[in-house]
Amino acid sequence: MEMLGKGIVSEKNRLWLYLTIIAGSFAQVIMIFPSGLRSQRGIQFWGAQFHDGLWHIAIVKKFVNFSFENPVFAGEKLGNYHYFSDLLVALVHIITRIDVFVIYYKILPSVISLSTGFFVFLLSKKLFKSEVAAIWSMFFVFLGSNFAYLLPFFGLGYPIWETNFWVQQPMSIYSNMPYALSVPIVLSSIYFLTKYLSGPRNNYLILSALLLAIAPATKSFTFFIFPGLFVISLYRVYKNKKFDLLIYFSCTLLIAILLMLPSLRFSDNFIYEPGWFLKTMIEAPDRMNWQDWSLRYQFYKSNNDIFNLVRFYITAFVIFFVGNLGTRVLAFVGVYKIRKLPHPEIHFLLLFSSFLLAIFPMFYLSSGIAWNTIQFYYYFLLFLGIYAGYGTYILLNNTRTKLYKIGLAIIIILFSIPVDIQTFYFYYSRPTGSYVTYEELEAFNYLNINGDDSDRVLTFPIGASFIHLAAYTGKTVFLGDEITAVLTGHDYRKRLDEINSAIEEREGFLKYLRKNKIRWIYDVTSEKSEILKNGNIKTSFKKGNISIYEVVF
């Protein structure tokens, strides 16, 4: 850390750099670090880590065995998926032999947060020519949050403040590991592009291109950076007669598309649904829960009152926009000075991309899980967090006395972190309800010892999620999770109906198992015990309510 500080920051600001990057990294990592640890009840997981985290672990296990099969939808290739974060974990495991769970839940988050802080500082310092502004940018990127703590004063809101305005805040970044990893990748790419524009050196441009090319394979939503990149490339050709950025753009886009091809499925990924997030933010019980305005909306709509409908959506958008930004609205304090800053191309790239990222979710939903498009807003908050650092720097510089400056800085910090504090309290004020029990671990261990990596497992009850089985055994679950099946473009309902039909036929059930190469049946209910009474389906393991059967081929 000392060597890092000496290289990029002056001695007078070094302590603030250390404090900000350590505090910010700690605040993010502490939200994922306890997941995967042992407790009295079993292996504990917090928040989304039991489902989403173990989904990534299951994919990592497949990659380790050089398989691209969907771990919870046997026989189908993994599609519609940004795979690079899982591939990275698999590569680190293959090289180091460190446990996959340790890499995913401990090492990778620490590296991501530290590198995010590092590149936020470097990029902000380059753009704003101020170490103080860069440190404030780090603060907002790490700890900036929304204004949801104000809602209870108006009798509104959901007890969990973080997503009252829909958008998840930076402290919970590791509930979405692909997004988390994409942040330092995107920031470092833009930083090296900025370095190249400062004094053309091809190695910076090549490094930037390679990083940006892998960004969409890490998180597909980063494709939204390319339109702004295309515009500044054309402008550079027009103004300076230089084609370097246009070549950079073309090569980067081509490589990005090629890297996405292995998992790309050409389908309708987005649904045109303008204002959906605004309307649901107002009326949903787990968002603002503003029932008075929800009833007004219904009245305006039933009476075709266009004027008041427009007024409703404008009001909702202002609340959504300002509410999600929180103290990051300070980004607009310094907007009028951006023209005087160096690297206008990069400022245009960041602000134009921010505009696209903010507008797109206002009109489109995802065809899989409708609200997935809200993740575009994560990048908007990231970029505005960087500019909020500059806005805060301008605001403090215009404060007359040192005492007022310190007081204002404290107020900004205090108004920024209430939601972070509440999020932390919500996570750790009560035990998690998500565990992999020790009985399950014993059953999984049995499958690991007696099965092959290519084995397929049918699970009971049909329709329940068994991602944790795939994560701990590396086996492929025949029908393991509806959400991930839908997201990756598979027909979950069709396979579910096929299994139920085979069960009802009884005589055809064994034939169905053999046809689909299902070697194991993992049952935690015993509700299908009659159908499993077959000389070719043998009980192999039983512990508590868990039974494992082996299908004899």
Mean pLDDT, the chain, integer:
91
Q: Considering only 88-92, 243-247, 541-545, which range has the smallest mean pLDDT? A: 541-545
Is there a contact between 314 and 403 (Cβ–Cβ < 8 Å)?
Answer: no
Which pLDDT score is estimated for 200?
75
Choosing from 371, 399, 428, the residue where a domain stops is 428
Structural domain contains residue 36:
no
Choosing from 379, 407, 428, the residue where a domain stops is 428
Which pLDDT score is estimated for 531?
73
Band of pLDDT at residue 2, cut at 50, 70 and 90: very low
Q: Considering only 189-203, 299-313, 440-454, 516-530, which range has the smallest mean pLDDT? A: 516-530
- Same domain for 310 and 222, yes or no, is yes
Any residues with CB less than 8 A from the CB of 305 and at least 6 apart, and which? 299
Q: Considering only 14-18, 256-260, 299-303, 506-510, which range has the smallest mean pLDDT? A: 506-510
Band of pLDDT at residue 268, cut at 50, 70 and 90: low
Is there a contact between 244 and 236 (Cβ–Cβ < 8 Å)?
Answer: yes
pLDDT at 296 over 70: yes
Structural domain contains residue 56:
no
DSSP state of 74: T
What is the rounded CA–CA span in Å between residue 231 and residue 210? 20
What is the rounded CA–CA span in Å between residue 360 and residue 365? 9
Three-class secondary structure assignment of 244-265: HHHHHHHHHHHHHHHHHHHHCC
- Same domain for 544 and 406, yes or no, is no
Which pLDDT score is estimated for 78?
86
Which pLDDT score is estimated for 3?
43
Which pLDDT score is estimated for 285?
93
pLDDT at 514 over 70: yes
| pLDDT digit string, tens, across residues 47-69 | 889 999 999 999 999 999 999 99
- Same domain for 390 and 477, yes or no, is no
Which pLDDT score is estimated for 72?
93
- 546 lies in which domain range? 437-551
Q: What is the tally of structural domains in the chain?
A: 2
Cα–Cα distances (Å) from 372 to 181, 182, 193, 367, in that order, read 17, 16, 29, 9
Which pLDDT score is estimated for 266?
52
Cα–Cα distances (Å) from 339 to 347, 384, 385, in that order, read 9, 17, 19
Q: Nearest-CA neighbor of 418 among 231, 148, 194, 156?
A: 148
Q: Nearest-CA neighbor of 61 among 43, 78, 40, 39?
A: 78
Which pLDDT score is estimated for 533?
73
Is there a contact between 460 and 523 (Cβ–Cβ < 8 Å)?
Answer: yes
Structural domain contains residue 58:
no
- Same domain for 449 and 476, yes or no, is yes
- Same domain for 275 and 388, yes or no, is yes
* β-sheet bridge partners, residue 437: 42
In this structure, what are the phi and psi dihedrals at residue 16, rounded to the nearest 5 degrees? -65, -35
- Same domain for 333 and 443, yes or no, is no
What is the rounded CA–CA span in Å between residue 181 and residue 92? 14
Structural domain contains residue 54:
no
Which pLDDT score is estimated for 306?
93
Q: Which uninterrupted H or E stretch holds 502? A: helix 492-505
Give the type of residue at 55. Answer: W
pLDDT at 13 over 70: yes
- Same domain for 462 and 399, yes or no, is no
Q: In percent, how much of the chain has pLDDT > 90?
A: 75
Structural domain contains residue 296:
yes
Cis amide bond preceding 461, omega within 30: yes
| pLDDT digit string, tens, across residues 281-293 | 999 999 999 999 9
- Same domain for 462 and 546, yes or no, is yes
- Same domain for 350 and 457, yes or no, is no
Choosing from 383, 398, 428, the residue where a domain stops is 428
Q: Nearest-CA neighbor of 416 among 62, 27, 114?
A: 27
- Same domain for 13 and 125, yes or no, is yes
What is the rounded CA–CA span in Å between residue 219 and residue 442? 35
What is the rounded CA–CA span in Å between residue 28 and residue 251? 34
- Same domain for 127 and 189, yes or no, is yes
Structural domain contains residue 49:
no
Q: Nearest-CA neighbor of 264 among 491, 495, 489?
A: 489
Structural domain contains residue 64:
no
pLDDT at 169 over 90: yes
Structural domain contains residue 68:
no
C-alpha dihedral (211, 214, 218, 220), degrees to nearest 10: 110
Work out whether strand 476-477 and strand 434-437 pair parallel, antiparallel, or are unpaired: unpaired
Helices vs. strands in the chain: H and E counts, helices first: 23, 9
Work out whether strand 434-437 and strand 270-272 pair parallel, antiparallel, or are unpaired: unpaired
- Same domain for 390 and 531, yes or no, is no
Cα–Cα distances (Å) from 478 to 439, 457, 512, in that order, read 22, 6, 12
